Amino acid sequence: MEKLTSQSLFDSLQQISDPRVERTKRHLLVDILVIAICGSICGAESWEEIAEFGRAKQEWFSRFLELPNGIASHDTFRRVFLLLKAEEFERTFLEWVRVAVKLSKGAVVNIDGKELRGTHSRGRTEGLRIVSAWAAEQAVVLGQVRTPEKSNAHHRHSRVIGSVGVVGSDCGRLTRWVVKRRLPRRFRSRKPIMCCR
């Protein structure tokens, strides 16, 4: 089994533009992002829990983060993530994941769609649908895509495949039609790996 390499999460996150006003910056953006990502990986599910995680691990974080004013408050974490451009953060994070997780030839990437419970609202017939790509050997999610209500399986799967950059073979509901017609050209020439639903 291949492991995650320590490929520069720092360098990746430093590429993200800081949307905050210069005079109000008390904490470095990269410090906030690293603590939030580490906290999320370790099971923190709210801004309060992320800030608490940061305070509990402050000594460890201070080994590689500058932390000029200590750990940010939960309000600061929330405000920063509200200001960030979601597409830029997602793109940067997924690029880091792709570099960190090396897929071997023939690796299995499971493509699965779920409708999340409790996401129905009045007047809607369907709830929130998420399609995920899971690298089984590395035990890591390569990407997730929210899909529209009125889309079929081909379109839902092709969106997540395109976002994580894998090429699939004909397996389950994933067909060569999806691979040929829906993937960007830069991904079509890669060595195929098996994708199953």
pLDDT band at 176 (very low <50, low <70, confident <90, very high): very low
Spatial neighbors of 160 by CB under 8 A, at least 6 apart, are: 111, 131, 132, 133, 143, 144, 145
Last residue of a domain, one of 65, 100, 135: 100
Q: How confident is the model at residue 66 (pLDDT cuts 50, 70, 90)?
A: very high
Would 4 be classed as within a structural domain? no
What residue numbers bound the domain in which 88 lies? 9-100
- Note whether residue 157 is domain-resident: yes
Q: What band does 17 get if pLDDT is binned at 50, 70 and 90?
A: very high
Q: Residue 152: inside a domain, yes or no? A: yes
Nearest to 133 by CA among 104, 108, 170: 108
Alpha helix (H) ranges present in 101-183? 153-164, 176-182
Backbone φ/ψ region at 165: left (φ over 0), alpha (ψ -120 to 50), beta = left
User: Is the domain of 163 the same as that of 137?
Assistant: yes
Whether 68 shows a pLDDT value over 90: the answer reads yes
120 and 94 housed in the same domain: no
The β-bridge relationship of strands 129-135 and 195-196 is unpaired
* pLDDT attached to residue 58: 97
More confident residue, 137 or 84: 84
Percent of the chain with pLDDT over 90: 36
**70 and 20 share one domain:** yes
Which of these three, 41, 66, 100, is where a domain ends? 100
